Structure 1
C-alpha cells in the first residue's frame, strides 16, 4: 500500500482516522501500532517479523544499557543491540552484493563460484535501522528518555506515515508527543494541505517526468542534449518524489497530532554542496553528522582527519542507500566536494565559490552525482557521462523529441521552476487561492490515480 493510491486515500486513511478520534486516549498508541502493521503487512505480511524483531532488539538493548551497573556493561549492551540491528540490515541489504563481488573475484582466479542468492529487501528497513540505532545510543547516553512502555516504542518504530521512506525520526523528538500531543481542527486542516501538496508533487511532477528519465537512461549512446535532459529530469523526479513523500508523511503526522521534522528546504537553491546537504534529506544529514561524522572525530583532529571523516561519512551514507558500487561512488563524489569546500572555508562562511557562479557550480556537481545515483551500474553511468561531455554528438534526436511527450517537458519545466523559485513564490500571500488549491489538487490527483498504474516511491528501494 502506498500513499498515492486510492485504497490508502479513500479506504485505509478514513477508517484509521475515524477509529483514532473515536478511541480513548490511552488506546491510541496501540491503534497506531495495529494500523501501522496492517499498512506494512499489506506489502508482505511475513516481513512484519523483521520490523518487530529490530524493534524488540532495540527496546531491550536500550533498557539493558540504561539499567547497566557499570560503564562496561552499558557499552556491551549498546554494542550488542547496534550490532544485531546492523546484522539484520546487512543480511537483507548487502549479502547478495558481497556474494556477487566475491564470486567475481573467484572467477578472476579461475574458481567456479556458486550463484549468489537474491534476497527480497524489506521496505523501509534502512530507515527503521537508523531510527533504532539512534534510540539505543540516545537512551544509553541519557540524551533521551526511554519509552514509557513497549507499545509506545513499537508504535514509534512502525509509525506508518514515515516507516517506509522517512523522514528519519528520533524517539527523543517524539517522546513527549507520545504522552501528550495537541489535536485541533486547524492542525488537522494543515495536515490535509501538506498531504495533498505532497501527493501532487509525486503524481503531477515526479511520475509525469519518470518516463522521460527511463527513456534517456536507456539510450545506448545519448547525445550531449539527451544525456543532460535525462540527468536534469531525474534531478526533478527524485526531488518531487522524495520531498512529496516527506510532505505527505508530515501531513499525516499533523492529522494525528505529531510534528515531524522538516526533511527538505529548497535544496536546489543551494550555493554550495555543503549548503545542499543542509537542505536535502535533512533528517538523514543530521543523523549521519551526529551518529557517524562526530563519533569518527568530526573536525577535532586537524584538517586531514576532517577530510577523511567527511569522505567516510559520505561513502557510508552512499552505501546505506543501496548495495551497489554506484552508491559508493556517489557518496565519494559528495565527500570529495564537501572536503574541497571545507578546504576553501565553508566552515567559516556561507559562500565558498565565486559569488555569481556558486549556484551553477554546486548544482552541476549535484546533477552529475545524480547520474551515478540513478544508474543501474557504473557502466551505464559512464555511458551517460560520455554523452554529457559531448563524446557522442550534441543535438537531440528526432526520436527523442517524438517519444518524449509535451506534458513530460511541461512537468519538467514546472518542477524546475518550483524547485528554484519556490521560496519566492511562497512569499506571495493569496488567501483565496490557498483555500481552493488543496481541493483542486486532490481532484486532479484522483483523476490521475485512476488513469495510471501503480507507481511506488523511489526511496522505497533504499
Structure 2
C-alpha cells in the first residue's frame, strides 16, 4: 500500500482501533499479523520470502547467543552473506548483467540474458535492519526476544517500505512498556497530515518543472536551473513527507521511531547535511560501513578512501544503477574536500570559530553542491547527467 492512498488510510484506521481494543499482551501479535497483511497487499509470494529471511536471521541470532559461542563469528559472517545475497540477487542482478553485456558488446564477449525480476518491496530496509540486528547480536547488544517480538521488529508496517531504519533495542524497549495515551493520537495525526501535505502540496507539483532534466539538449539554462531546484524541493518533500507519515503512523500505536530529516538544506557543510538528511540511513552507513572500514583513524588519505567507499555504497543502496554510484561518489568527494579543508585549517592554526562570518556563504555553497548532485540521482543517463552538470557550472 502507498502511504498517501485511501486504502492505506482505511487499513491504518481499522488496525489502530482493533489494536487499542485488545489486551496489552496480544497487541504486538495483532500488529505483526496486520503487518503481514499490509505486505501481502503488494505481492503475496514475497511475504513468504521476507518471512523466510526473518526466520533464518532470528535462528542465527539464537545460535550466536547459545552454547555454540565459539562459532559466533562464522555464524555472523554467514548471516551477513545470507542477507546480502538476497539484496544482490533481487536488486542488482539486472545492473550487473546489463554492465556485463555492455562490456561484452565492446570486447565481443558472450551476451547474457537478463531475468525479469521484481524487487521485493522494502528489501533494502529489511536487509539493513537484519544486518544491524545480526551485528548487535554478535556484539551481545541485542537481548533475547520471542519470535513474535522479533517478527514485529522486522515487519512493523509503518517503517516497512519507506520510513526511517529502526534500531532493534530501542524498538523492543518500547514494545515492552507501551501504554495508551491521547498524545499518541494528537502527535501521530499531526505528523501524518504534515507528511501528506508535503507530498501532495509540495512534492507532486514540482513534477511540472522537471521535464528539462530528461530533454536537456533542448532546454535553456534557466529551465535547467529551475528543474534542478524543483527536484531538490521535490525529493526533500517526498522523502521527509513519507518519513513524517511513517513516524506519525508508528506513534498511533505508541511507538516513537527516529527522526529522519532535520532541515538538511540549511547546514553549513556537507557533513552536517548528511547528519540531518535521511538520518537513520546516514547513521547506519557510519556505524556499519564507515567505522568498520577504519573511519577517520589513520592518515587523511585513509579517511578519504573510507568516505568514498561508504558514500558509493550509500548510492547503490538508493538504486541499482551507475548514476546512483556517481551520486554517492559526488558526496564522497564533497566529504573528502571538507576533510582536506579542515585539515588545512588545523595545520594553519586557524580556529573554525574565526570563520563564522562565512556561515551564510557556506550554507549556500553546501545547498548548491547538493543540488548539483541531485542531477546524478534523477537522470539515469550518465551522459545527459554530466551534460546538465557542465551546463549548470557553465563549462559548456
TM-score band by shorter chain is over 0.9
Output one character per residue of 1:407-426: Cα deviation in whole Å (capped at 9) or x when no partner.
xxxxxxxxxxxxxxxxxxxx
Work out whether residues 212 and 223 of structure 2, in 8 Å CA contact, stay in contact via their aligned partners in 1.
no
Q: Report the Cα distance in structure 2 between the residues aligned to 1:352 and 1:165, rounded to whole angstroms.
A: 37
Question: 1:250 offset after TM fit, Å?
Answer: 0.7
Question: 1:323 offset after TM fit, Å?
Answer: 1.3
Counterpart secondary structure, 1:85: helix
Counterpart secondary structure, 1:259: coil
Q: Superposed, which structure 2 residues align to 1:440-455 within 5 Å?
A: none
Counterpart check, 1:3 vs 2:7? no
Question: 1:339 offset after TM fit, Å?
Answer: 1.2
| TM norm structure 1 | 0.81
Look up the match of 2:79: 81
Look up the match of 1:96: 94
Counterpart check, 1:311 vs 2:315? no
Look up the match of 1:373: 377
Question: 1:120 offset after TM fit, Å?
Answer: 1.1
Look up the match of 1:445: none
Q: Superposed, which structure 2 residues align to 1:245-284 within 5 Å?
A: 245-284=242-281
Counterpart secondary structure, 2:65: helix
Output one character per residue of 1:75-108: Cα deviation in whole Å (capped at 9) or x when no partner.
0111111110000011001111111111111111
The structure 1 residue matched to 2:185, chosen from 185, 188, 201, is: 188
Question: 1:249 offset after TM fit, Å?
Answer: 0.7
Look up the match of 2:121: 123
Output one character per residue of 1:266-300: Cα deviation in whole Å (capped at 9) or x when no partner.
00101100110011000001001111111111111
* Structure 1 pair 391–299 and aligned structure 2 pair: CA distance change class (3 A): closer
Q: Superposed, which structure 2 residues align to 1:343-422 within 5 Å?
A: 343-345=340-342, 354-390=358-394
Question: 1:31 offset after TM fit, Å?
Answer: 1.1
The structure 2 residue matched to 1:292, chosen from 276, 285, 289, is: 289
Counterpart check, 1:23 vs 2:27? no
Look up the match of 1:178: 175
Look up the match of 1:197: 194
Look up the match of 2:131: 133
Q: Report the Cα distance in structure 2 between the residues aligned to 1:223 and 1:122, rounded to whole angstroms.
A: 39
Q: Report the Cα distance in structure 2 between the residues aligned to 1:321 and 1:99, rounded to whole angstroms.
A: 19
Q: Report the Cα distance in structure 1 between the residues aligned to 2:210 and 2:154, rounded to whole angstroms.
A: 34
Q: Report the Cα distance in structure 1 between the residues aligned to 2:207 and 2:121, rounded to whole angstroms.
A: 21
- Tell me: higher relative CO, structure 1 or 2? Use CA pairs within 8 A at least 6 residues apart: 1
Question: 1:154 offset after TM fit, Å?
Answer: 1.0
Look up the match of 2:141: 143
What do you get for the CA RMSD once the two structures are aligned?
1.9
Any unmatched runs of 5+ in structure 1? 393-462
Work out whether residues 327 and 373 of structure 2, in 8 Å CA contact, stay in contact via their aligned partners in 1.
yes
Question: 1:14 offset after TM fit, Å?
Answer: 1.5
How many residue pairs were aligned? Answer: 389
| TM norm structure 2 | 0.94
Q: Superposed, which structure 2 residues align to 1:107-118 within 5 Å?
A: 107-118=105-116
